[in-house]
Amino acid sequence: MKIQINVSIQIQKPNDQVFEAIVNPEQMCQYFISASSGKMEEGAELIWNFPEFNGDVPIRVGKITPNLLVTYYWSINDVEVEVAMELEERADGSTVVRITEKEMENDEAGISWIKGNTEGWANFSACLKAYLEYGINLRKGAFIYRFDKK
């Protein structure tokens, strides 16, 4: 049996604003990554950097449906996995963001992945909401402790 990650959050902004915050590297650098080699567009191959990790993270953008869907692929332990972000506009003008990362084997490596990346996607969701609703970067300084030599 394969396992996958599913997280979701409701953001009090319309889906076009949420979509732009996901695909536009200038915005994404305000809450998630520290650098990107370009905008998320279908077929693009990008490099992301994260403030708390060393090294480049290659991204291969899959399907993009403006204001509704963003998919991309990245490598986890030498396994390419798909991340899908679905945007559902609500009647009140807010947007539900559903993120699925799939899939890995239900073994020790897969369980380690699901624990770590579920935490990561919950963090991403909270950071995206804080950025869009309040204009703050929750991630800034959040992981400095990982580099401290007590």
* Domains of the chain as residue ranges with CATH: 2-145 (3.30.530.20)
Length of the chain: 150
User: Residue 18 corresponds to which tokens in the numbers above?
Assistant: 């949420």
**Residue 146 predicted with pLDDT over 80:** no
**Residue 139 predicted with pLDDT over 80:** yes
**Residue 144 predicted with pLDDT over 80:** no
User: Residue 19 corresponds to which tokens in the numbers above?
Assistant: 């979509």
Percent of the residues in the chain that have a pLDDT greater than 70, as a whole number: 97
pLDDT at 53: 77
Backbone dihedral region for residue 22 (phi beyond 0: left; psi -120 to 50: alpha; all else: beta): alpha
User: How confident is residue 150, by pLDDT bands cut at 50, 70 and 90?
Assistant: low
pLDDT at 131: 97
Contacts of 109 (CB under 8 A, 6+ apart): 77
pLDDT at 14: 98
Closest by Cα among 140, 77, 149 to 114: 77
Quote the distance between the C-alpha of residue 35 and its chain's center. 14
pLDDT digit string, tens, across residues 71-127 = 999 998 888 999 999 999 999 999 999 999 999 999 999 999 999 999 999 999 999
